[in-house]
Amino acid sequence: MSTILIGIAGGTGFGKTTLTRHLKEHFGPEVTVIGHDNYYKRQDGKTLEERAKVNYDHPAAFDTELLIEHLKELKEGRPIRCPVYSYVEHNRTEETREILPTKVIIVKGILIFQNPTLRDMFDIKIFVETDADVRILRRALRDVEERGRTLQSVVTQYLTTVKPMHEQYVEPSRKFADIIVLEGGRNLVALEMIMQRIRAHIDTP
Ligand SMILES: Nc1ncnc2c1ncn2[C@@H]1O[C@H](COP(=O)(O)OP(=O)(O)O)[C@@H](O)[C@H]1O
Ligand SMILES: Nc1ccn([C@@H]2O[C@H](COP(=O)(O)O)[C@@H](O)[C@H]2O)c(=O)n1
């Protein structure tokens, strides 16, 4: 079985998860989705308050080596156990999730094109983009509704780590993309083109 790896990158709130969800809903078990966020390093030994202050937008926050290892395993046709992450606890949980090898593997994350080894593994690199004001508003709503945050904490985190790391690491990785998708979450033309490419690969014996 030949496997293609598709990377979906872009800053927080750009619409990566929304685009990926559409693809997963369309292809079901034929496509596997893995988040770089699942590979955030453990923060054991710190209090919740200390864990909340970690810079989660810096490349050093991720165990990218483990993700690379897991992607190699999947490409070799072997299943992996993917870590499960909790944004509420700011830590990996004790759980892992079995992921079976499929012909198409999608990896999403803010910094997946920043690490050269990981970046070079992707057959297709997609960067999703949305205006900064729209995405911060979306992130604020999402973090309060789904990730157990206060509005004040979202604003503080955005100004102290998210924005500077975006400028230093995420935005410069845009130039490595093969395709830029504007309004990622709801760009139906782009979605259809990506679906056609995935379908062509799945249908190739
Ligand atoms: N085109 C869009 N219009 C309105 N809301 C959107 C759109 N795309 C995404 N969203 C919302 O914005 C929030 C962030 O999008 P998400 O896909 O989670 O971004 P990312 O994974 O890049 O951080 C989510 O709550 C999502 O429902
Ligand atoms: N404990 C954590 C871990 C990560 N984050 C933020 O998540 C963002 C990446 O996820 P997206 O779905 O938004 O791409 C990143 O910007 C981190 O700041 C967090 O807030 N808390």
> Residue of the nearest CA to atom 18 in ligand 1?
17
* Ligand 2, CB cutoff 6 Å, lining residues: 12-13, 16-17, 37, 40, 56-57, 87, 90, 110, 162
Across residues 6-26, what is the average pLDDT? 95
Has residue 184 got a pLDDT over 80? no
Cα(57) to ligand 2 centroid in Å equals 7
Q: Is it the case that residue 53 has pLDDT exceeding 80?
A: yes
**Per-residue tokens: 156:** 């503080």
Task: Work out whether the CA dihedral 140, 180, 9, 18 comes out positive or negative.
Answer: positive
Instruction: Average the pLDDT over 31-46 and give the result.
Output: 96
End-to-end CA distance of the chain: 8
Interval between CA 197 and ligand 2 midpoint (Å): 29
pTM of the model: 0.96
Question: What is the structure's pLDDT at 16?
Answer: 94
What does the pLDDT read at residue 183? 83
What is the spatial distance between Cα 37 and Cα 56, in angstroms, rounded to a whole number? 9
pLDDT for position 1: 73
Q: Which residues are paired to 124 by β-bridges?
A: 6
Average pLDDT over the chain, rounded to an integer: 95
Query: pLDDT digits over 88-123, tens only?
Result: 999 999 999 999 999 999 999 999 999 999 999 999
Place of tokens 């080894």: 117
Average pLDDT over residues 163-173: 98
Do the strands 80-86 and 91-99 form a parallel or antiparallel pair, or are they unpaired?
A: antiparallel
What ipTM is given for this predicted complex?
0.94
Tokens of 52: 């909340």
- Over residues 144-162, the pLDDT tens digits come to 999 999 999 999 999 999 9
Q: Mean pLDDT across the stretch 166-181?
A: 97
Query: Would you state the pLDDT for residue 186?
Result: 79
Tokens of 187: 């760009």
Written as six digits, the tokens of 197 are 């490419």
DSSP H helices, 94-162, are 116-119, 132-146, 151-157
3-state secondary structure of 74: helix
| Mean pLDDT to the nearest integer, 177-186 | 88
Report d(CA 119, CA 115) in Å as an integer.
Answer: 6
Which residues line the pocket of ligand 1, CB cutoff 6 A?
10, 12-18, 138, 142, 183, 185-186
Ligand 1 pocket: which of 17, 134, 138 to mutate (most atoms <8 Å of CB)? 138
Element (H, E) at 81: strand 80-86
Pocket test for ligand 1, best of 17, 129, 182 (most atoms within 8 A of CB): 17
For ligand 2, the distance from its centroid to the CA atom of residue 204, given in whole angstroms, is: 36
